[in-house]
Amino acid sequence: MLRPDTNPEAIIWDLDGTLVESAPDLATALNTLLNEQGQHGHPVDCVRPMIGGGVAVLIERGFHAAGTSLTEDERDALVPRFMEIYRECCTDSTALMPYARESLSFFYHAGAVQAVCTNKPLDVTDQILNSLDIMGYFGSVVGGDSTPHKKPHPQPLLTCLDELGVTPSQAVMIGDSGADVGAAQGAGVPIILVSGGYTGMPATALGADYVVTNLSQLPGSLVPK
């Protein structure tokens, strides 16, 4: 993989699996919902690759892994209950990924503007960012319900860029999944993936411009203007 040919003015971050380890709390919510519906739950390691497409997709994947198929209407009807459960536990075990705070601080002091672009609903995203004391780093936070489309559609990412006042050529996205790659490529933004995130495929197979093994490598890969 080639390094991005840019010194970015803006850094757009994915949340789950990139900046934060949220799988334990998401697994708690999913398994509680599954148990309420008479289904068996899943270990955190099994839930981790289910994350990334939004709540409805996580529910669908969780039920499918338990051996039950849901119609779209059945799946969507369970979203409010999942969110009720998740709001109660979303900061219990969720923590920053290694070197996340250091990377955010590095880009902040280097003068780059930063944003979060996630498929997680906005209210829970804000709750987590505030709990981890990192909200102040971001000039834009776009959640999965902030726009009509979720990643891999480019609209959420383009919304971040508009709110930051930058163009695609001035930005770089940092994520962990194919949804991030799709959104970035659709928006014309270079994409760096962090390996070991929430995806069932190796990061090197997802078509990113550059892959790092952990966030400590980012300052050496990108020097903001």
Catalytic residues: 14
Beta-carbon contacts of 93 under 8 Å, excluding residues fewer than 6 positions away, are: 24, 25, 28
Please give the Cα distance from 162 to 195 (Å, whole number): 28
State the chain's maximal CA–CA distance in angstroms: 54
Query: Facing residues of 142 across strands?
Result: 117
Tokens 């971001």: give the residue.
138
Nearest CA-CA partner of 215 in 107, 134, 129: 107
